[in-house]
Amino acid sequence: MQPPSARSRPTAVLATGIWLTLGALTRLAARAGGAGGHSGGGGGGGHSSGSSGNYAGGGYSTYGASNADSSGDSGSGMWIFCVFLIVVVFIIIKSRRNINSWSSRQPGGPPPLPLPDEPRDGMAAFAAANPDFQADAFRRKVADAFVKIQSAWSAQSLAAVRPFISDGIYQRFATQFQMMALLKQRNSLDHVRVLEVAPVAASRDGQYDVLQVRIAAAMRDAFICELDHSLDSAGDAAFTEYWSFIRKRHAAPEGGNIYQNQGCPSCGAALPPDMGELCRCAYCQVMVNSGEFDWVLAEITQQTDYGRDSSWAGSVSPQLLQALAELSVEAPDLAVQLIEDKASNAFMQIMTALVTRNPAVVRRFVSDAALATITALIPPDDTVFNRLYLNEVVVVDAACAADRHVLSVGLSATRQRVRLVPGRGLAPVDPAEVRSDYILVLERDAAAVPNMGALYQHQCPNCAGAVGDTLDLNCQYCGVPLNSMHNEWIVTRFEEA
Ligand SMILES: [Zn+2]
Ligand SMILES: [Zn+2]
């Protein structure tokens, strides 16, 4: 099942990677046993959560079978076990998956490493610039995060993972939990196994470093909808996802850990067991998930949407990099990953406004024109999204106009609208999940001053006072309009592409 080219690829690097992977596998198996061999073990639902689920239309992603690529030198029982595992996983995937994107590209079978559409961009430069980077510790951290996030998904509670996920990731999960609660849905993930954790690309993004990590995992996935049991499903899934982690360059001390400790990484004060949407220490006021202290999970992408497969690849302005460089001179805090995170956050809150039929949910961070567009999209009756996930969020253009910085973000989202029918359960509005593309434009004054609050997390950006969902634009504490572009990126346009 190995293409000859893969078998002949030598490299000590690969062999090292394989053994590190095997090491991670061994540790995880042990941890799984220690945690009761149940959902505490591996991790699995993020894929149903973060983006597409196995049953949710994203389809299984191809398992890279990277371990098979080793030209390893150890020839022990472990090695035989490894080959055996790959064969078993491959057979299972082969028999279950209806679409194998790889078989269309490479009839020979599973791909060698690296995948042809997955350049190992920037890894060497990152390693050179970060000699203290502890790759093995980072891999363990990611595996740990993966496990915890699958548990959080099953429990529909983000308390345990809040410190190390971005605000956009928080909003993606929280909004889905809200929809699932309305539809009385549960999604239990068991027998979760992390098969591979491999950093595959690194980039510099403003003042931040971004690492893309390929994660292969398998799990048992049971979905129950109390309002309509025809939506129930259960089965085994194996998949590959790409998780993006962001960390502020030179600010974060190597060895920092917001994954295990429940204390503030800055002042050491205990953090509340459930911080909710605002990831801020109540004592020293730092944002725990700012990337200043440790790597933070900022995006989850399915393999089918990753790299060259991105449906937005052709829409990115050829001038984008140049424009971003020019904007960064006036806005040193600008980072593409953070803008995409803000766009994700805004999108999910817009979806909440549609389902709750309450434009106040978004009023504080949208312009008058965007509010009018969003209000016009509000359905006339109780419509909920059965499945709602973002496939892709991509900054496609940047410009400076009339002393404002303007960023256009392309979003692809998959969702199925259903109507709540009293006494009868659900009635589908869309016959199946529909993937749609959107453009969301964010604008901020070129001379914007540092943001004191977290507007998207219901804090006034001028005075950091707490604000609720209200149509009243003026902050009740400082009187400044909440959607002022003097402090924060504001949504000025939202439309289907
Ligand atoms: Zn603190
Ligand atoms: Zn205020």
DSSP string, 95-119: HH-S--HHHHH-TTSSPPSSPTT--
Query: CB–CB of 259/294 below 8 Å?
Result: yes
Q: Is 409 exposed, middle or buried (0-12, 13-18, 19+ CB in 10 A)?
A: buried
Query: CB–CB of 337/212 below 8 Å?
Result: no
pLDDT value, residue 452: 87
Distance 481 CA to ligand 2 centre (A): 8
pLDDT tens digits for 353-402? 999 999 999 999 999 999 999 999 999 999 999 999 999 999 999 999 98
Task: Quote the CA–CA distance of 466 and 458 in Å, as a whole number.
Answer: 6
pLDDT value, residue 80: 53
Nearest ligand to the CA of 266 is: 1
pLDDT value, residue 85: 53
Task: Quote the CA–CA distance of 44 and 39 in Å, as a whole number.
Answer: 9
Distance 475 CA to ligand 2 centre (A): 5
Task: Quote the CA–CA distance of 491 and 474 in Å, as a whole number.
Answer: 17
pLDDT value, residue 164: 97
Nearest ligand to the CA of 282 is: 1
Say how many CA atoms lie within 13 Å of 175 toward its Cβ.
30
Distance 270 CA to ligand 1 centre (A): 8
3-state secondary structure of 142: helix
Q: In 3D, which of 115, 68, 71 has the Cα closest to residue 88? A: 68
Query: CB–CB of 390/172 below 8 Å?
Result: yes
Q: Which amino acid is at 136?
A: D
Nearest ligand to the CA of 484 is: 2
Sequence-ordered list of residues with C-beta below 8 angstroms from that of 266, at least 6 positions apart, any chain: 281, 284, 286, 293
pLDDT value, residue 79: 58
Task: Quote the CA–CA distance of 253 and 293 in Å, as a whole number.
Answer: 7
Query: CB–CB of 363/371 below 8 Å?
Result: yes
Domain with CATH 3.10.450.240 in the chain: 314-497
pLDDT value, residue 424: 84
Nearest ligand to the CA of 459 is: 2
Task: Quote the CA–CA distance of 465 and 422 in Å, as a whole number.
Answer: 39
Q: Which amino acid is at 441?
A: V
| CA 475 to mean position of chain CA atoms | 31
Sequence-ordered list of residues with C-beta below 8 angstroms from that of 351, at least 6 positions apart, any chain: 175, 385, 388, 413, 415
pLDDT value, residue 463: 94
Q: In 3D, which of 337, 285, 293 has the Cα closest to residue 452? A: 285
Sole residue written with tokens 């549609």: 354
Nearest ligand to the CA of 476 is: 2
Q: Specify the DSSP element, H or E, that contains 342.
A: helix 336-356
Distance 280 CA to ligand 1 centre (A): 8
Sequence-ordered list of residues with C-beta below 8 angstroms from that of 268, at least 6 positions apart, any chain: none
- The encoded tokens of residue 308 equal 């060259």
Nearest ligand to the CA of 452 is: 2
Distance 86 CA to ligand 2 centre (A): 56
Distance 370 CA to ligand 1 centre (A): 36
Angle, in degrees to the nearest 10, between helices 135-155 and 12-34: 40
The CA-atom distances, in angstroms, between 361 and each of 52, 348, 461 are 25, 10, 16
Distance 285 CA to ligand 1 centre (A): 6
The CA-atom distances, in angstroms, between 16 and each of 125, 134, 311, 481 are 19, 14, 34, 55
Q: Is 294 exposed, middle or buried (0-12, 13-18, 19+ CB in 10 A)?
A: buried
Phi, psi for 418 (deg, rounded to 5): -130, 155
pLDDT value, residue 214: 97
Q: What is the pTM of this model?
A: 0.78
The CA-atom distances, in angstroms, between 71 and each of 45, 195, 417 are 32, 18, 49
Distance 292 CA to ligand 1 centre (A): 13
Give me the residues of the chain with pLDDT under 50, please.
1-75, 88-89, 91-118
Sole residue written with tokens 């219901």: 458
Task: Quote the CA–CA distance of 60 and 480 in Å, as a whole number.
Answer: 48
Distance 271 CA to ligand 1 centre (A): 8
pLDDT value, residue 83: 54
Q: Any idea which fold 314-497 has?
A: Nuclear Transport Factor 2; Chain: A, (3.10.450)
3-state secondary structure of 392: strand
pLDDT value, residue 120: 61
pLDDT tens digits for 187-220? 999 999 999 999 999 999 999 999 999 999 999 9
* Terminal-residue alpha carbon distance, the chain: 41
